[in-house]
Every structure is written in structure tokens, then in C-alpha cells.
């Protein structure tokens, strides 16, 4: 295995934990190698008890599963199950927020922070906005719940897409009817003996992914903004040096802001501060990880400790007193690492319990009280720190600018998208790229994200990033005040005028829906389709099924999407050809698999140039 990470803080911690004999994600990957070649190609199936089956990729027998399914069917079905899982994860997260919205006015911990957005959304859903905030919130929650079910012919926010895009989806019959419905139907189709036409399965993958992008994820983003405030630009810090030796450190990890927002509130409680001081600490220090971190960073400016591959390393600093998790992307391995220190891993959702963790269940009704309980536990654990195991990497916390919701971007532009459109037309901004997704121990951590982003901004391409990509770029200094210097002359001029960095943090994984909203608005302003825009997506270090769903809704929306880690589709020439080639004739988008971020940037720039030429700009 080559170098594991490009980040200095991570390197220091890997070295420390190695000396302490702790097994990390990279060690476990090494022990798994060689990983199963059938699975890597998507050629194994265990969908029924006549199997498990596998197809020989070299043309020898077996070429069919016991039921008669060939490579194309098996690969398409496996991909479909990944899309279904990814879309389900984002959407179930969205549903949890809708359930909190329905309780506004009846519970203490949560209220409406962005009343204007509540009204805008209510109008979009055809709700009378002359009523009280609570009544509007309840009615909006009810309508959004219908988006999940099977009562509607189409989900509400799909109509944010440009007219031409909707016509394409209508022709392909992939307009999502209900969020749960499309996910369930996709799972149904992958049962033995249901959909055995690989292309038909892929079309339903697109419909389920759109139910995620314009449904579950978009609902998650919009309702989080309503409940916790729509992000506005602010400055914060990032990397492991955000941990403080003399304070009680609490890490907020996972995806859904419901728990973390309550913890942020409770951390400024007088009783909690007093107890922390009595324990000998200077106070409570909160730091984020992964997308829960992105949520509280965007809205509250809470510093960020790191991304996906930092979750074990952060515990190894010996100063994390509690790591509080909600769900998604939380490695079971953190419980084993935490056992070697004084750190408590606290789970909070009945959906995501971990063997060996402490379970403190949060509900909308008890969130205040439970948030204080977790912080008290952190204070207790602070007393148990072992000074022999403490090491916070000696690096400077990196400054970053965050909080670029679409509303904030429009505000920075002076209230309309016109200055951005003008900049794109005159070429100072060549195009826009959404850089998204995870870390994967198979890729040198943060190398793919940061090399791609640097090369794009050098070539005057504005980067919008989310998730772990956003953390990588920020740690590399691409979101510092003054980072406009790293951009090409055109982009630099725009960023300096607007006082924004050339890489804009638009949020967490569900906030990829903000990228969809921005692109729809741009296309609508220009009177073109999304596929006509000089725009693209990239997920250079993805690992998660959610990233497959995101990539699929980007491609379904007409975007070129570069994947830095090959998806398990290479076992079927047909599926590979559809997703990397033929789909372009249907949606205008396609996948490109390119692990080298320099080459990935070249592919994207070429694509952007082609789109500009076609638009005559």
C-alpha cells in the first residue's frame, strides 16, 4: 500500500496509532486483500437461496446463475440495490426531519428558524400561508409526507427542473411518483424473477435516484434550513488542531443535524459550563466529523475535525471525551479504537445502535435533556483522560469560509444570478463543477479531491463542494480568505470582487440537492436545459452507496460525472456501455471512470469547453 493520506495531521496520527498497536481502516483493508474479483466486477449474486452464484469474467463456465441470470442482469441488479440503499439513506434522513417539522409548536427543543423559507416552501406545495407558523409547518410536513408515499403522480420539487428536462424524464418515464415507492419498486424489481431487462432496471435506478435528489435529499436540506436556519457565509477552522487539550472535546459525527443542533444548544448551558470547569476543563469544545460536521459548520460555524478517514484517528488524539453519532458513515471500528482510550462512543438513534457503544436515545421530545446528559458524560470522561496517550498534531488549524447555501450565493451576487451568468458568458468563469463524496482507503486520502479542485480553479472553473470532498478542499486551504490567488485570472477577479473563495462549501451529502437547485436556476435563467450548461460532477474518492445514488441523479439530470473509484459494473459490457456512453443520448449526462484527478480535470474541462461552444459563449 502506498502513502495513506496527503494530510499532515492524519499522517501524525497514523504513526501514533501504529506505535500503539491499533488496527485502522487501512490495516483492515490490507487484511482483506486480495478482495473478491467477482464482487469487484459486480458478477456475484446472493439474491436467493438457489445461489450464491457468480459469473466467470473470462468467458469460461459458469456464464449463468442457477436461475439463468447472466452477467448483464446480475450487474444491473447489484447496482440497483446500491442505488436503492443510497436513496433510502438520504430519504429516511429527510423523513426524520419532516417528523420534527410536524411537531413544531408542540416540543421545546425545535422551532422554525427560517420563517421566510417555510413560507416559500409552503407556497410551492400550494399551502395557505396566511396561517400561523405552526399551522404552516404542520401542513407542509403533511404534504412532504405524501411525497414519500404512493398517493401522488409526481413528487413536488421535481418541478424545480427546467421544462426541457422534465420532458426528457417524462419521455423516459422516470419522473419519480413517491420517494419510498421508487425505492421499494427498485428492490422489488431486483428480486429473482422480476425485472430481467438490464436497461429497464437502469431506468428505474434513475427514477429512484431522482426521488432522492429532488425528493429525500432536497426535503432534508430544505427542512433543515427551516428548522435550523439557512446557512450564510462565515469563517471557521478545520483539522485535528481544532481539538483543545484543556477543554472537554465532543465530536459530532454522522449526518442528521437533529441531535447535533440540540448538543450545540446545550453546550452553552450555564450548568454544563460550570460542571466542565469543576472538572478542571476550560470549557466544552465541539468539533464535527463527516456530514453532521458539515451541517453544524455551515449553520453554526462549529469547527470541523475531519472527514471519513479521520474518524478513528480523531479518537487516537486521546483528548476526545465523547464521540456522539447519529447515523451513516460511522465505522463500527470506532468502538474498538475508543476502547483503547477513555473515549465514550454514544449512539442516539434507534436505527443505528453499535455493539459496545453507550446508547442514549434522542427523540424530538427529550433532545434538550439528552443533550445535557451526553455532555455530562463527556465531562466525566474528561476526568479519565490518560496523559500518556495524548497527542494533538502540531499543525495550525486551517481557516475556511463556509455557509454557501444557494440563497447565500445569490445574496453574495447582489440578489440575482445575473452576475454569475455574465461571468460565465464572458468566460471569467468557464463553468461550474460539483465535487462531492467520500474518502476511500483505496485512494490516498484527500489526494483525488484536492488535486481535482486545484486544477479546476486554476482553469477558471468554480467548484461547489459537499461532504468529505468539502473537508478535503478546506484542509488544503482552498476555502481560505485569500485563496482566490490559487484560481486562474478570470475566476480570481470574480472571487476578489465578491470576497468569496474559488471553492464554495455548499454543505453535506444531502446538500448536493443545493447543487441541483443552483443548476436548475441557472438553466431556467438561461432558458436552456441542465445538460446544456458548462457544468459537471465528480466523486473522486467515493465509497458509499449514497454516492452511487448521487452520481446517478446527476447523470439523470444531464451532467457528466467523473468517478475516481471504479463502480462494480465492469463485469457487464452492456451496463458499462449504457452508463458511460449510451445514456448520454437519453439524458445528456454520463459517467466517466478516471482515477487520476489530473486526467479527470482534463476530461471535465474538455466537456465544459464543448458545452460553451455549443451555447455559443
Q: Would you tell me which residues interact with ligand MSK (CB under 6 A)?
A: 255, 290-291, 307-308, 329, 437-438, 467-468, 508-509, 544, 546-547
Residue 48 near which of ligand SF4, ligand MSK, none (CB within 5-8 Å, type-dependent): ligand SF4
Residue 437 near which of ligand SF4, ligand MSK, none (CB within 5-8 Å, type-dependent): ligand MSK
Residue 50 binds to ligand SF4 (criterion: CB under 6 A): yes
- Who contacts 32 (Cβ-Cβ below 8 Å, separation ≥6)? none
Q: Which of 45, 291, 506, 563 binds ligand SF4 (CB under 6 A)?
A: 45
Provide DSSP, 336-368: HHHHTSSPEEEE--TT---TTSEE----TTTHH
Q: Which of 16, 18, 23, 51 binds ligand SF4 (CB under 6 A)?
A: 51
CA 206 – CA 592 distance, rounded (Å): 17
Residue 62 binds to ligand SF4 (criterion: CB under 6 A): no
CA 339 – CA 589 distance, rounded (Å): 46
Residue 65 binds to ligand SF4 (criterion: CB under 6 A): yes
Provide DSSP, 479-512: TSTTGGGGS-HHHHHHHHHHT--SEEEEESSTTH
Q: How many of the chain's residues bind ligand SF4 (CB under 6 A)?
A: 14
DSSP state of 191: S
CA 293 – CA 380 distance, rounded (Å): 23
Half-sphere exposure (Cβ direction) of 440: Cα atoms closer than 13 Å = 20
Main-chain dihedrals φ then ψ at residue 51, nearest 5 degrees: -95, -160
DSSP state of 241: G
- Who contacts 194 (Cβ-Cβ below 8 Å, separation ≥6)? 188
Residue 194 binds to ligand SF4 (criterion: CB under 6 A): no
Residue 52 near which of ligand MSK, ligand SF4, none (CB within 5-8 Å, type-dependent): ligand SF4
Pick 516 or 576: Cβ nearer ligand MSK? 516
Question: Could you give the maximum distance between any two Cα atoms of the chain, in Å?
Answer: 71
Residue 568 near which of ligand SF4, ligand MSK, none (CB within 5-8 Å, type-dependent): none
Q: How far is the CB of 343 from ligand MSK (least distance, A)?
A: 20
Pick 230 or 292: Cβ nearer ligand MSK? 292
Residue 47 binds to ligand SF4 (criterion: CB under 6 A): yes
Pick 25 or 438: Cβ nearer ligand MSK? 438
Residue 578 binds to ligand SF4 (criterion: CB under 6 A): no
Pick 202 or 250: Cβ nearer ligand SF4? 202
Residue 187 binds to ligand SF4 (criterion: CB under 6 A): no
Pick 242 or 435: Cβ nearer ligand MSK? 435
DSSP state of 104: B
Residue 603 binds to ligand SF4 (criterion: CB under 6 A): no
Q: What residues between 448 and 477 interact with ligand SF4 by CB under 6 A?
A: none
Q: How far is the CB of 68 from ligand SF4 (least distance, A)?
A: 7
Q: SS in 3 state form for 264-312?
A: HHHCCCHHHHHHHHHCCCCCEEEEEEHHHHHHHHHHHCCCEEECHHHHH
Q: Name the one range near ligand SF4 by CB under 6 A: 44-52, 264-272, 332-340, 534-542.
A: 44-52
Residue 283 binds to ligand SF4 (criterion: CB under 6 A): no
Report yes or no: 6 and 450 within 8 Å, Cβ to Cβ: yes
Pick 284 or 289: Cβ nearer ligand MSK? 289
Give the burial class of 118: count Cβ atoms within 10 A of its Cβ; 0-12 exposed, 13-18 middle, 19 or more buried.
buried
Residue 299 near which of ligand MSK, ligand SF4, none (CB within 5-8 Å, type-dependent): none
CA 11 – CA 386 distance, rounded (Å): 22
Residue 544 near which of ligand SF4, ligand MSK, none (CB within 5-8 Å, type-dependent): ligand MSK
Residue 69 binds to ligand SF4 (criterion: CB under 6 A): yes
CA 280 – CA 268 distance, rounded (Å): 17
Q: How far is the CB of 397 from ligand MSK (least distance, A)?
A: 20
Provide DSSP, 52-76: -EE--TTSPSP-S-TT---HHHHHH
Pick 96 or 195: Cβ nearer ligand SF4? 195
Report yes or no: 179 and 57 within 8 Å, Cβ to Cβ: no
C-alpha cell at 535: 457544468
Pick 506 or 605: Cβ nearer ligand MSK? 506
Q: Which of 52, 115, 350, 414 binds ligand SF4 (CB under 6 A)?
A: 52
Q: Name the one range near ligand SF4 by CB under 6 A: 60-68, 117-125, 161-169, 565-573.
A: 60-68
Residue 29 binds to ligand SF4 (criterion: CB under 6 A): no
Q: How far is the CB of 505 from ligand MSK (least distance, A)?
A: 13
Residue 66 binds to ligand SF4 (criterion: CB under 6 A): yes
Question: Could you tell me the strand order of the sheet in which 461-466 lies?
Answer: 503-507, 461-466, 431-435, 535-539, 560-563, 590-593
Pick 459 or 552: Cβ nearer ligand MSK? 552
CA 188 – CA 258 distance, rounded (Å): 31
CA 294 – CA 508 distance, rounded (Å): 5
Residue 608 near which of ligand SF4, ligand MSK, none (CB within 5-8 Å, type-dependent): none
CA 46 – CA 66 distance, rounded (Å): 11
Q: How far is the CB of 65 from ligand SF4 (least distance, A)?
A: 2
**Interaction site with ligand SF4 (CB under 6 A):** 45-48, 50-53, 65-67, 69, 74, 192
Amino acid at each position: 500500500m502506498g502513502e495513506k493520506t496527503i494530510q499532515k495531521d492524519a499522517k501524525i496520527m497514523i504513526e501514533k496509532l501504529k506505535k500503539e498497536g491499533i488496527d485502522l481502516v487501512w490495516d483492515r483493508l490490507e487484511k482483506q486483500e486480495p478482495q473478491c474479483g467477482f464482487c469487484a466486477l459486480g458478477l456475484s449474486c446472493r439474491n436467493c437461496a438457489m445461489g450464491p452464484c457468480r459469473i466467470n469474467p473470462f468467458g469460461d463456465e459458469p456464464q449463468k446463475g442457477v436461475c439463468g441470470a447472466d452477467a448483464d442482469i446480475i450487474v444491473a441488479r447489484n447496482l440497483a440495490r446500491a442505488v436503492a440503499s443510497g436513496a433510502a439513506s438520504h430519504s429516511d434522513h429527510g423523513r426524520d426531519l419532516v417528523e420534527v417539522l410536524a411537531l413544531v409548536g408542540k416540543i421545546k427543543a425545535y422551532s422554525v428558524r427560517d420563517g421566510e423559507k417555510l413560507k416559500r416552501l409552503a407556497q410551492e406545495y400550494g399551502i395557505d400561508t396566511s396561517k400561523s407558523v405552526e399551522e404552516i409547518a404542520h401542513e407542509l410536513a403533511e404534504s412532504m409526507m405524501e411525497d414519500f408515499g404512493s398517493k401522488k403522480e409526481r413528487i413536488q420539487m421535481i418541478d424545480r427542473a427546467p421544462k426541457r428536462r422534465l420532458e426528457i424524464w417524462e419521455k423516459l418515464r422516470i419522473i419519480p411518483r413517491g420517494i419510498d415507492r421508487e425505492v421499494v419498486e427498485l428492490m422489488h424489481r431486483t428480486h429473482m424473477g422480476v425485472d430481467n431487462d438490464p436497461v429497464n432496471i437502469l431506468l428505474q435506478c434513475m427514477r429512484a435516484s431522482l426521488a432522492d435528489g429532488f425528493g429525500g435529499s432536497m426535503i432534508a436540506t430544505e427542512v433543515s434550513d427551516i428548522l435550523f436556519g439557512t446557512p450564510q457565509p462565515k469563517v471557521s477552522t478545520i483539522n485535528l488542531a481544532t481539538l483543545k487539550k484543556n477543554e472537554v472535546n465532543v465530536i459530532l459525527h454522522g449526518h442528521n443535524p437533529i441531535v447535533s443542533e440540540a448538543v450545540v444548544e446545550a453546550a452553552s448551558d450555564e450548568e454544563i459550563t460550570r460542571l466542565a470547569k469543576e472538572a478542571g476543563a476550560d470549557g466544552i469544545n465541539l468539533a464535527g466529523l463527516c456530514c453532521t460536521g458539515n451541517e453544524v459548520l455551515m449553520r453554526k460555524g462549529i469547527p470541523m475535525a475531519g472527514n471519513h478517514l479521520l474518524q478513528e484517528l480523531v479518537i487516537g488524539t486521546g483528548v476526545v471525551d465523547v464521540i456522539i453519532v447519529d447515523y451513516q458513515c460511522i465505522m463500527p471500528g470506532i468502538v474498538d479504537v475508543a476502547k483503547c482510550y477513555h473515549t465514550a462512543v454514544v449512539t442516539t438513534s434507534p436505527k443505528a445502535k453499535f455493539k459496545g457503544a453507550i446508547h442514549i436515545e434522542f427523540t424530538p421530545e427529550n433532545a434538550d435533556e439528552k443533550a445535557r446528559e451526553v455532555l455530562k458524560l463527556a465531562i466525566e470522561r474528561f476526568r479519565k483522560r490518560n496523559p500518556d496517550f495524548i497527542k494533538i498534531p502540531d499543525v495550525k488549524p486551517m481557516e475556511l469560509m463556509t455557509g454557501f447555501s444557494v440563497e447565500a450565493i445569490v445574496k453574495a451576487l447582489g440578489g440575482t444570478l445575473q452576475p454569475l451568468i455574465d461571468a460565465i458568458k464572458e468566460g471569467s468563469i468557464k463553468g461550474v463543477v460539483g465535487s462531492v463524496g467520500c474518502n476511500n482507503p483505496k485512494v490516498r486520502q484527500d489526494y483525488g479531491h484536492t488535486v481535482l479542485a486545484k486544477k479546476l480553479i486554476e482553469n477558471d472553473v468554480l467548484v461547489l463542494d459537499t461532504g468529505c470532498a468539502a473537508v478535503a478542499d478546506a484542509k488544503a486551504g482552498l476555502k481560505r480568505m485569500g485563496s482566490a490567488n490559487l484560481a486562474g485570472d478570470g475566476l480570481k477577479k470574480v472571487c476578489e470582487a465578491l470576497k468569496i473563495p474559488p471553492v464554495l462549501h455548499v454543505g453535506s451529502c444531502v446538500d448536493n440537492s443545493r447543487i441541483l437547485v443552483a443548476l436548475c436556476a441557472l438553466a431556467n435563467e438561461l432558458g436552456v436545459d441542465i445538460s446544456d450548461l458548462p457544468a459537471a460532477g465528480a466523486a473522486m474518492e467515493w465509497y458509499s452507496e449514497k454516492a452511487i445514488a448521487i452520481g446517478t441523479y446527476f447523470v439523470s439530470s444531464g451532467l457528466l460525472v467523473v468517478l475516481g473509484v471504479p463502480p462494480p459494473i465492469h463485469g457487464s459490457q452492456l451496463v458499462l456501455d449504457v452508463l458511460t456512453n449510451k445514456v448520454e443520448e437519453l439524458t445528456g449526462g454520463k459517467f466517466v471512470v478516471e482515477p487520476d484527478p489530473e486526467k479527470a480535470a482534463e476530461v471535465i474541462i474538455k466537456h465544459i469547453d464543448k458545452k460553451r461552444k455549443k451555447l455559443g459563449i
